[in-house]
Structure 1
Amino acid sequence: MRPGETPEDRLRDALRARAVEVEPAPDALARIRMRTAGRRRSGWAMIGAAGAVAAAVAAAVVVFAPERGPEPDPQPAATASRVTPSPAPPSASAAPSPASVQLPVYFIRNGMLYREFHAVPLTADTDADRIAAAVRESLTGEARDPDYGTAWPPGITVRGVSIDGKAVTVDLGDVGADARDGARALAVQQLVYTVAAASTYTSIKKADAIRLVVDGAPVAKLWGSVDAGGPLRQAPMTEVQGPVWVIDPQQDQQAGRSFTVYLAGVVHEGTVQLRIRGAGGKVVFERTVQLSAGAPALGEARVPVTLPPGRYTVESWYVSMQDSSVQAVDDHEFTVG
């Protein structure tokens, strides 16, 4: 102990050192506000020097916390541009507004799965509520990219989600006679991949088993042909996921003049093509991009770009090793402001 140093001084130094290591989720503030909005305000007495230090650490966590995107599932990270600002704290007399959190949801394009991040409202911030919100958005919501859609029939409902340990059970209603275009197996994978990705945003971190019930009761077969009596498993990425994804910019995103194109894919040797078109389809940026890994692993890459204000289309694809044809194009329109 240094000359003149008190135990409170040592405690304060230790807590400050730990505070800089804290890395809360991007929506942590909104979740705290939701959980505390209904409680009565009460005065807290300051309990010695330790109480002052704890308050200082809490403030440091809120003010200096870095914005962190989701972890791979294999889910590439969401960028800070997709983080919804925290709502203003409700007044003492007003009912709290539902929090809105960014969650991964899967859609379908050309018979393959693609993912977007959507801000979805929560009426109760529980693990089950987060997963249910993501599933509801995936099965019944509207994708940002007009090329994406759902394989689930119109009228499908998400009755609820329950969690037992790391086993997640999804209760659906109004499943209809068949999936859209008969894509039954892909529809189930759309559900399973969304549950698995959304569970990384909960305290369970990763679902070990995903089960499906219909109208509260187990079913052996969904739509008469898809096995649903036991735990549902994710099919291999190479079988169901789109080979190339444009993660950022998202469809209709507003970007700054300097931004980052975020790509992901499962392709041979991890080599993809990147192109950005401006007004009239004019190519303003083009590059061959090397992802961080090649198939069968998921590779990622971030490419910094600077463009003048305007409306653009970002495209990415891979070139066939057999005939040099363009394969698996994913594209988004966005605006540089």
Structure 2
Amino acid sequence: MLRRVLAAEAARVEPGPGALPDIQRRIRAGDRGGARRRWPGPEWSLPRLARGRWGGWSPLAAGAVTIATLSVAAVVVGLASTVVPTPIDRAEPPPGAVGADQSASPAASPDDVRPGPTPPDGAVAPSVGAGTGTPAPGPTASTAGLPVYYLGGDPARPRLYREFHRLWLHDGSARDRITAALRNLLDGPVGMDPDYRNPWPAGTDLRDVTVGDGIATVDLAGAARNGVDEVTARLAVQQLVWTATAVPGVSGLRLRLDGAPVDRLWGRVATSGVLRRAPAMEVLAPVWLISPQHGDAVGRSFQVHVAGILPEATAQLRIQQGTRTVREQVVTLSIAGPAQGEAKVGVTLPPGRYTLTAYAISLEDGSERFLDDHTVTVR
């Protein structure tokens, strides 16, 4: 009954394109209609439910909203005294992909995975410790859409973003998949999206990977020193952890440098023992444009896949061709923060080059936050 009442009241609301500035003006003027209830988190607030076009609530709706408000208050009190669990992170792999991400973030679809180059003469990627050596030819070569995490966003407060890269494997084992993903991660300073960066020092090499009892031991060379700050150092470690533990059956990581355990990486972050994933809401991007990925070529009709950890479960999507905005819309995610929600939006565009931007609007000041943009070509 509560859902029906709230849905009926929501259906009476007529939003307009200039609503946000008007609401902000009313708030500054002290209008009770613009009163807001604070969300238990930084820089965000939940707007008071909009009134209907006739300016008032029905008695039944008012009672229902009172009940809902009390229920939300009880939930918030409960959350304050408990640990918010990480969302279920055992996603099914995309068709034909081995070792798809098991993270709390959305699983890949075939359209989310960027194909990699085809090795010459059917060769497969070299094994750990083999360097670039002579690849072994044969019909056993296979590919997998493997998740690779990068740092992005505000340099002062970076977060993790994921790309799916189609990489060549030997045998598809956990060790093989972690090796391929980490080698790919360490190969360059940025991802396919140049806004996604790899903070590990240039020249860092993967010496060895072993997997046992669900724990991957990763041995790196050339990474003993790095002049990054503490926030970046912590995210760099989580970048390795989230990439390695995206492989099925792997839940933690032990870090080695030049064969030896390291208690504190770069003098900034503790790395002794088994390292686990930090909570998604602490390390993943608040808004995330999953696909199309940067540089993709798509057909005239395609889906834009957006994810986010937002209290209101409301993101924004803007599509531009050059400086001209051709589409802008609200995207309602499947669930509100602290869980990560997602949504897919169908888009049809004429051929050309476009920039897709997913972002959030701060209810504090109306500014655009957490922008994630990809440039794509529509064929």
Query: How does the TM-score come out when normalised to structure 2?
Result: 0.65
The equivalent position to 1:210 in structure 2, one of 243, 249, 253, is: 253
- For 2:255 and 2:275, locate their aligned partners in 1 and report how far apart those are by CA, in whole Å: 8
Shift of 1:217: 1.9
Aligned-partner residue type, residue 240 of structure 2: L
Task: Report the 3-state secondary structure (helix = DSSP H, G, I; strand = E; otherwise coil) of the residue aligned with 2:295.
Answer: coil
Pairwise CA distance, 1:98: 4.0
Deviation of 1:78 (Å): 1.9
Residues in 2 aligned to 1:290 and 1:177: alpha-carbon distance in whole angstroms: 43
Q: Which residue identity does 1:104 align to in structure 2?
A: P
Q: 1:325 to 1:136 in 2, by over 3 A?
A: same
- The answer as to 2:85 corresponding to 1:79 is no
Asked if structure 1 preserves the Cα contact closer than 8 Å seen for 2:93 and 2:101, the reply is no
The answer to whether the aligner puts 1:188 opposite 2:229 as a matched pair is: no
Distance 1:152 1:87 in 2: 27
2:319 matches 1:271: no
- SS of 1:178's equivalent in the other structure is coil
In 2: Cα distance, 1:209 partner to 1:77 partner? 20
Contact preservation (8 Å) 1:248, 1:263:
yes
Verify the 8 A CA contact 1:70 1:76 in the aligned structure 2.
no
- Superposition deviation, residue 124 in structure 1: 4.0
Structure 1 residue 136 corresponds to structure 2 residue 187? no
Q: 1:319 aligns with which of 354, 361, 373?
A: 361
- Asked whether the 8 Å contact 2:116–2:167 carries over to 1, the reply is no
Mapped pair 1:176 → 2:224: yes
Q: Distance in 2 between matches of 1:225 and 1:332?
A: 32
- Tell me the C-alpha RMSD between the 2 structures: 2.8
Change (3 A) 1:245 1:98: same
Normalising by the residue count of structure 1, what TM-score does the alignment of the two structures yield?
A: 0.73
Alignment partner of 2:164 out of 106, 117, 126: 117
Which residue identity does 1:307 align to in structure 2?
A: L
2:42 is aligned to none
- Aligned partners of 2:283 and 2:151: how far apart in 1? 10
Equivalent residue pairs, number: 268
- Does residue 107 in structure 1 map to residue 154 in structure 2? no
Shift in Å, 1:286: 1.3
1:331 aligns with 2:373: yes
Structure with more of its chain in helix, by fraction: 1
- The farther-off stretch of 297-306 and 234-243 is 234-243
1:113-145: CA deviations, max 9, x gaps? 111011222244321010121122223334111
Q: Secondary structure at the match of 1:333?
A: strand
Report the Cα distance in structure 2 between the residues aligned to 1:114 and 1:24, rounded to whole angstroms.
18
Say whether the 8 Å CA contact 2:241–2:252 is kept in structure 1. no
Match of 1:145 among 193, 204, 216: 193
Q: Deviations over 1:132-190 (max 9, x none)?
A: 21122223334111111111111111112111121111111111312545621111111
CA distance in 2, matches of 1:216, 1:71: 28
Instruction: Name the structure 2 match of 1:161.
Output: 209
Q: CA–CA distance in 1 between the matches of 2:116 and 2:202?
A: 32
Q: Post-superposition shift, 1:85?
A: 9.6
CA distance in 2, matches of 1:290, 1:266: 12
Q: Distance in 1 between matches of 2:318 and 2:115?
A: 28
Q: CA deviation at 1:223?
A: 1.6
| Structure 1 runs not aligned, ≥5 long | 1-22, 32-68
**Alignment-derived partner of residue 26 in structure 1:** 95
Cα distance in structure 1, aligned partners of 2:261 and 2:267: 13
> Counterpart in 1 of 2:323?
281
- Relative to 1, partners in 2 of residues 1:123 and 1:179: Cα closer, same or farther, differing over 3 Å? farther
Contact 2:101 2:146 in 1 (8 A): no
Q: More displaced, 255-264 or 77-86?
A: 77-86
Determine the C-alpha separation between the residues in 1 that align with 2:245 and 2:174.
12
State the partner residue of 1:229: 272
Contact 1:84 1:101 survives alignment (8 Å): no
Query: Is the partner of 1:269 in helix, strand or coil?
Result: coil
Q: Is the 8 A contact 2:115 2:165 kept in 1?
A: no
Q: 2:262 aligns with which of 201, 205, 219?
A: 219
Contact 2:315 2:358 in 1 (8 A): yes
2:312 aligned counterpart, secondary structure: helix
Deviation at 1:221, TM superposition (A): 1.7
Q: CA distance change for structure 1 residues 313 and 268 in 2, over 3 Å: closer, same or farther? A: same
Match of 1:307 in 2: 349
Separation (CA, whole Å) in 2 of partners of 1:24 and 1:191: 20
- The change in CA–CA distance for 1:25 and 1:283 in structure 2 (over 3 A counts) is closer
> What SS does the aligned partner of 1:194 have?
helix
Moved over 6 A (4+): 85-90
Shift of 1:27: 3.1
SS at match of 2:359: strand
